[in-house]
Chain A
Amino acid sequence: MLLLGPALLAALVVTQTFTDGQELTVGPEAGGVAASGVVMWRTGSVVATIATAAVVTAALRALG
């Protein structure tokens, strides 16, 4: 049962990042989530991680 956590969380991350309804997509939020992963890895700060996801996604969307 102890490996349910990683499998479940990873499934939630990818479905919420790469899907739109039942379609697989790679949009601005993929860039935002990837950037947030780097921030979490380097800093371990949850608030900075989540703020990065929103700011990078918004910036990519504004540019695109």
Chain B
Amino acid sequence: MRNILVLAEPTELAWSKATLGLVSLASGLGDVSVALCSVVSDELLEELAQRGASAIYLNTNEKIYNHGNSAKADFLIELITSHEPDAVLLETSVDNKEIAGRVAVLSNSGVLTDISALEFDQSEKLIARQEIFGGFSTVISSVSTGVTIVTVHPSDPGVESKQKDLKVVEVFTNFADSTKALTVKMGPRTETSSRPKLTEAKIVIGAGRGVGNQENFKNSVEGLADALGAAIGATQAVIDLQLCPSDLLVGQSGATVSPDLYFALGISGAIHHLAGMQSARCVVAIDIDENAPMLHNADLGIVGDVGEIVPKLIEVLNNRK
């Protein structure tokens, strides 16, 4: 049986879809162990067991959050050394790519990022599907040396009961000197949005230059997101206008999203934005310029003014409820 190690982000409330998706993906490949940096509730552990996890490695060095991503990487290295997994799976994020990079060097292993699928081929080799250049190209790759280290954009297949008996093993990691030399002082946390997470949302409302001003952003973009239970994404132009925070950027320098529906409002469709959303299942676009590339990349393109059309659409949607 193959051994797959998954890094899960501890949580007080509920696992992210990504964590659950990773454990489900791993359980289709082999025996699943989960690396946890801190304690979670028994209910949450039980949920991992239902997805097929059979071991939890629980870090007991409470300084793990004081030394940044390096400390988490050192914890994973300790587990790789003692348990020799065939693959290590992390959710794709800026922090996890950093962790994966350090783990790859220290374990002398290849790393692949932005994986969308992972499976064993006939020769028992782990093969990854990787979206590159913002999804314009899909490549099939593999790691040829060492442990297969991947960061994954997992989809959540839902629970298929694979209930395992779960053992919890406590692990104390001594961090490297260069890890201990870095200290993290955590700043205050702001309230998180009640909207779904941009990279996990089924519907994303994309806001572009054509939205124009704060009033339209509130009435059209936020209004439509609320009416459809959607997340909000934005182009660089909208962030430069300071209509929303920069972590909502979709595109080459920002997030890559693949929702069921991408609703583009006033987005002309420059290639570096298309790179972040073109794997959406459906695209609807509204733009005043009939030549906007986004309209011609959409299943339904509306030539018209966002500020005129969207408030009326929100009214139609709210009347249906």
Q: A and B bound?
A: no
